[in-house]
């Protein structure tokens, strides 16, 4: 079952000091994070430890235990076979790495800890947000990403209620800590991707099947934005201006084409919800010597993931489910 996709929807806020709850739009959250808004109940600003934060919307349909397994959930990854069958985290370790870890016994213990981590799935919005965050924070701009639509087993047992985001500083969650014996899935408030939405921590055995597509879609429509920007970029010089000044301080200035490409990407980002703009700018950055048409189609495809998810869902509909 598909849910309504809305990157711009209002969010619920909860103040940690006065327990005031209210709804806000993304513009309010952006201003609040810059210290320009306060809690309507106690005037607390964002600098305080118990300042207001997004919280779960009481009307979120995923709060209904019986509906969790009926909904489609999403995940983005650079892995072409997520979730990997017979996952062996030690398979990529070189002999030198194994020695550095401390020998085979410690390697086995490390691998067991890796296999004990929970998988994460969430809303469509959270999956796209996660991809943009990875591109910006983990230098994954040139990596091929895949969008997975996840179906859960109808028999899954859902943990009662929801947790505040249980991930550590690198985003890991130990499965046994959130899903005790007899529980397959735990809901948690996602602070970082689709803030305020519910995501799931779960084990591989809770997943029935997945559908996968490469994103952005390779057959991006040949719209006016692509045509106009390709023409503009091809008309701009791709020759960098020679650096001047002291050798130690020289930095090669960008070419006119690279400057224009970054401006075009930024202008497209400004049409998106405010909480996605910085990440989109990083994902859409134009590199020196990059092919203008390839860049424009990729950037337009990234934009369509947010602006036109119906085409993405239609592409997923064409994929045969893979049992997990």
Give yes or no for a contact between 53 and 29, defined as CB atoms under 8 angstroms apart: no
Helix axes 256-269, 292-307, angle to 10 degrees: 10
pLDDT tens, 220-230? 655 788 999 99
- Residue 116: is its pLDDT beyond 80? no
pLDDT digits 0-9 by tens, 242-300: 665 555 455 678 899 999 999 999 999 999 999 999 999 999 999 988 999 999 999 99
C-alpha closest to that of 284 among 197, 120, 270: 270
Average pLDDT over residues 159-164: 97
CA 260/CA 262 separation, integer angstroms: 5
Q: Enumerate domains of the chain plus CATH numbers.
A: 1-55 (3.30.40), 58-215 (no CATH), 224-309 (no CATH)
- 82: helix, coil or strand? coil
38 Cβ contact partners less than 8 Å away, ≥ 6 residues apart: 32, 44, 45
Residue-level length of the chain:
324
The pLDDT score that the predictor gives to residue 64 is: 97
User: Which range has highest mean pLDDT (20-24, 103-107, 174-178, 221-225)?
Assistant: 20-24
Q: The pTM is what?
A: 0.91
SS3 269: helix
Per-residue pLDDT band for 239 (boundaries 50, 70, 90) equals: confident
With a cut of 60, say whether residue 46 has pLDDT above it. yes
pLDDT tens, position by position, 309-323: 999 999 999 999 999
Higher pLDDT, 111 or 75: 75
Tokens describing residue 5? 């996709």
Please, what is the average pLDDT of the chain? 91
């Amino acid at each position: 079952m598909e849910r309504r996709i809305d990157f711009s929807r209002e969010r619920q806020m909860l103040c940690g000091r006065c327990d005031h709850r209210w709804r806000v739009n993304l513009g309010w959250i952006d201003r609040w994070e810059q210290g320009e808004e306060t809690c309507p109940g106690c005037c607390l600003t964002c600098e305080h430890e118990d300042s207001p934060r997004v919280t779960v919307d009481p009307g979120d349909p995923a709060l209904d235990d019986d509906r969790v397994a009926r909904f489609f959930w999403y995940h983005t990854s650079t892995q072409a076979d997520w979730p990997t069958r017979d996952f062996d985290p030690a398979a990529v370790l070189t002999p030198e790495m194994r020695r550095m870890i401390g020998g085979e016994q410690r390697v086995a213990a490390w691998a067991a800890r890796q296999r004990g981590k929970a998988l994460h799935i969430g809303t469509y919005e959270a999956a796209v947000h996660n991809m943009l965050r990875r591109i910006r924070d983990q230098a994954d701009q040139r990596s091929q990403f895949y969008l997975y639509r996840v179906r859960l087993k109808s028999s899954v047992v859902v943990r009662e209620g929801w947790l505040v985001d249980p991930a550590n500083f690198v985003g890991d969650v130990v499965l046994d800590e959130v899903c005790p014996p007899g529980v397959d899935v735990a809901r948690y408030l996602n602070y970082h991707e689709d803030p305020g939405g519910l995501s799931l921590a779960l084990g591989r055995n809770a997943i029935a099947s997945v559908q996968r597509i490469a994103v952005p879609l390779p057959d991006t429509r040949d719209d006016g934005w692509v045509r106009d920007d390709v023409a503009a970029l091809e008309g701009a010089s791709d020759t960098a201006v020679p650096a001047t000044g002291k050798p130690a301080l020289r930095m090669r200035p960008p070419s006119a084409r690279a400057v224009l490409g970054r401006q075009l990407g930024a202008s497209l980002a400004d049409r998106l919800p405010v909480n996605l703009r910085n990440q989109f700018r990083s994902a859409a950055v134009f590199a020196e010597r990059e092919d203008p048409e390839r860049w424009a189609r990729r950037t337009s495809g990234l934009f369509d993931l947010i602006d036109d998810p119906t085409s993405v869902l239609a592409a997923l509909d064409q994929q045969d489910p893979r049992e997990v």
